[in-house]
Amino acid sequence: MELKRVAIVANGFKESAPRIASEIENYLKKRGVISTTIVTKEETDYESIDTDTDLVITVGGDGTVLSCARVILEYGIPILAVNLGTFGYITEIGSNEWKEALEEIFEDKETLTRRLTLKVSVYRNERKVFQGFALNEVVVSSAGISKIVRLDVNINKTFAGNFRSDGLIIATPTGSTGYSLAAGGPILYSDMSAIVVTPVCPFTLSNRPLVVGSNEVVTIDVCKGQRTDLLLTVDGQQTFEILESDEIVVEKSRSRILLISSKKRNYTEVLRSKLNWSGGGFHA
């Protein structure tokens, strides 16, 4: 990867982010690379990223990556995610590892992963009223607390069932370790081409999580007679009010997010260290 222009996106709510961003900018300057630092506090701040950028370095947590990903998705710009948070699945590079990661890029030794993303469209009276993109998940749920919603789900236009639950999560492999996992969904390896459909606290115990191929199209029809307002949430950051009889179509996006992965740890090691996935049993 040839670096000529780099955007450094620092989470303005994390005290150490601007300082680390400054260190990265100084390092890149010595290597003859033009860089711009964007300190973000609003969603619109991410729109300052130039489309001719060769690399985006995020300094923050997973939320910073998610916000950034939506802006640059169609441009195919790789992301080097530096983790300042306490818990990060997407941000694999530690705050003391960014220099080593950049050295690997300069030596053409970096490892790129291509993460599946979802496109979600909402149709109302046969007219598209919303479109968004998710790296983690799309959620349809009640706008209130502990209110059951009723949703008809179709997979590739084949009726899959009527779900009475607190909500429904459509997650990518990247997002399988987030809200979907907390709701009882499976963990998928991040480079898989699959989609997880996970009901949240279903009224019927037979409504279990379902893994489908990434080419499947999941259509959610909002049933009439809801006893609560409904909300569509994209990556926990974007929201849109859903009405009865709306049709929500979730499918694989044509673009994937390019993430530079750590060479110090693989995905299994991330799961083991951050989820204690290995348990606490005896190891010989």
Task: Report, as residue numbers or ranges, the catalytic residues.
Answer: 62
Coarse DSSP helix, strand, coil percentages of the chain, rounded to the nearest 5 percent: 20, 40, 40
Orientation of helix 98-106 relative to helix 17-30, angle to 10°: 30
Evaluate whether 15 touches 39 at the Cβ level (below 8 Å).
no
* DSSP secondary structure string for all residues of 65-122: HHHHHHHHGGGT--EEEEE-SSS-SS--EETT-HHHHHHHHHTT---EEEE--EEEEE
Q: Where are the beta strands (DSSP E) in 135-237?
A: 137-142, 149-155, 158-165, 167-171, 194-200, 210-213, 218-222, 230-234
Q: Which of 90, 54, 51 is nearest to 74 (CA)?
A: 51
Q: Which amino acid is at 163?
A: F
Evaluate whether 149 touches 203 at the Cβ level (below 8 Å).
no
* Helix residue ranges, H only, the chain: 17-30, 62-72, 98-106, 179-182, 267-275
Eight-class DSSP state of 63: H
CA 276, 171, 233, 60 dihedral sign is: positive
How many Å apart are CA 224 and CA 246, to the nearest integer?
9
